[in-house]
Structure 1
Amino acid sequence: MATINSIETLHRSGRSNREISRLLGVDRGAVNRAVQRLKAAEVQNRPNPLTGSSQTIRSTIRRIQLQFTPQNLTGFHSRNDRPKSKN
């Protein structure tokens, strides 16, 4: 566990995997795997960009609803209302 913490600390400080391997006396493949796991954990722990305050979500929904009012949709026809083509 201490080795993984050391790998994480050295990686975050900008050291290369090869250099970390040399400094800690650990196989380079083991360092590569540990760094890949760290990166995967970072992706999983990244906040969801759609998550926000309920006020932000409500205002976004309201803005979208206002874009699609009946006045803004004039000129659009449903499939059944469309004029028949003369082929």
Structure 2
Amino acid sequence: MSLLEAASTLKIHPHTAEKLIRTGKIPAGKIGRSYVLLSRDVLTYAEKIIIQQTADRLNKGLLGIGLKTHDTIISKTKNNRNR
């Protein structure tokens, strides 16, 4: 996959994709003057971002209802079962 294809897949500007490559967030090799990426690496990066952002949204929602973390829910559920 080329840098342009990776940028298109991630819906980001090619300069942003290049920055992700240069910082090592997405593995890539350079053949001649062009970067070459494995599709699975680009999709793995996307998956990582999706999981992190989803977790952040869930945690933010839990904070909004007075809970500190997902672990708090688990702890409260276990305590209720023991009663």
- Quick check: which one's helix share is greater? 2
TM-score when normalising by structure 1: 0.30
TM-score when normalising by structure 2: 0.31
Larger CA Rg, structure 1 vs 2 = 1
Which one has more relative contact order, counting CA pairs under 8 Å at least 6 apart?
2
- Quick check: which one's strand share is greater? 2
